[in-house]
Chains A and B, each alone.
Chain A
Amino acid sequence: MFVRLSAAIAALCLLGTPIFAQGAKPTGPQIAHIAYTAGTIDINAAKQAIKKSKNKAVVAFAKDMVRDHEAVNKQALALVQKLKVTPEDNDTSRALVKQASDKQAELAKLKGAAYDKAYAANEVAYHKAVIGALESQLIPAASNAELKNLLQTGVKIFQGHLEHAEHVAAELK
């Protein structure tokens, strides 16, 4: 199957180019915002899947995504409050949101098995892209040990979801 480069990858690729160019690293408040946004995007995609899909495995996966990312985002909010950090909106977060809403509009037009396949493929691509961004950009830029720690746990969660998404995608073929 020909898988198009997802909007999410395209968005996250921006992390490596103009946004943090000239050696500018995202700040703690920006990292917190980007990580939180990445979770929210997956929750919204999953909510769409729960509404649209009739496939048991797809719906179960989507429910897992909502539950996990809500739990992690709650933990992230508790941490930023403890650290007295106010998450700061930034170009990367805005680009992510824009790309995700475009993708959601694209997926909204699909139905049945075509939708299920496209959602699963996008989940695989999106989780890969977030793992890449966390490992190459966000974790190295995080100076607070607790924030770094949460992002590192985030990588393991996204890796778990990626494997899960790959199983779901493989079942749909």
Chain B
Amino acid sequence: MLPGLKSLAVLGLALGVTGSIPAHAETIRVKIDKLVFEPANVAAKVGDTIEWMNGDVLAHTATVKGGWDVMIPPRKSASFVLKKAGDVEYYCRFHPNMKGRIAIAPK
């Protein structure tokens, strides 16, 4: 990585931590249909929002072991703003056979 880019990344991280909304943060949508996260793998940046759209009649969660936990009610959406870079695997606490992954790049 170029030194200039690296400092930008550090700046991005700092902004993420302080809660500022980066100008070009994106919303990445993940559908849930019949107990499957679709797409199961997504790439995002710090500051982006993941929005899960639950099409099932069942409640689900997007849960990271030892990390965050998002409740996704039946036939509703729920979202989460990514704060830290890194690859995370998440699953549904109610149906642990549902798995997804987010590759989070620094800003």
Contacts and interface: CB of A to CB of B under 8 A. Distances in A.
B94 A156 contact: no
A163 B59 CA distance: 16
15 contacts: A67-B58, A67-B59, A68-B59, A71-B58, A71-B74, A72-B57, A153-B35, A156-B95, A156-B97, A157-B95, A160-B92, A160-B97, A164-B93, A164-B96, A167-B96
A164 B57 contact: no
Nearest to B74: A71
Interface string B10-45: 000000000000000000000000111000000000
Interface residues of A, number: 17
A160 B74 contact: no
Interface of A: 64, 67-68, 71-72, 74-75, 152-153, 156-157, 159-161, 163-164, 167
Nearest to B91: A163
A156 B96 CA distance: 10
Contacts of A67: 58-59
Nearest to A156: B35
Contacts of B92: 160
B98 interface: yes
A72 B95 CA distance: 14
A167 B34 CA distance: 22
B95 A161 contact: yes
A160 B98 contact: yes
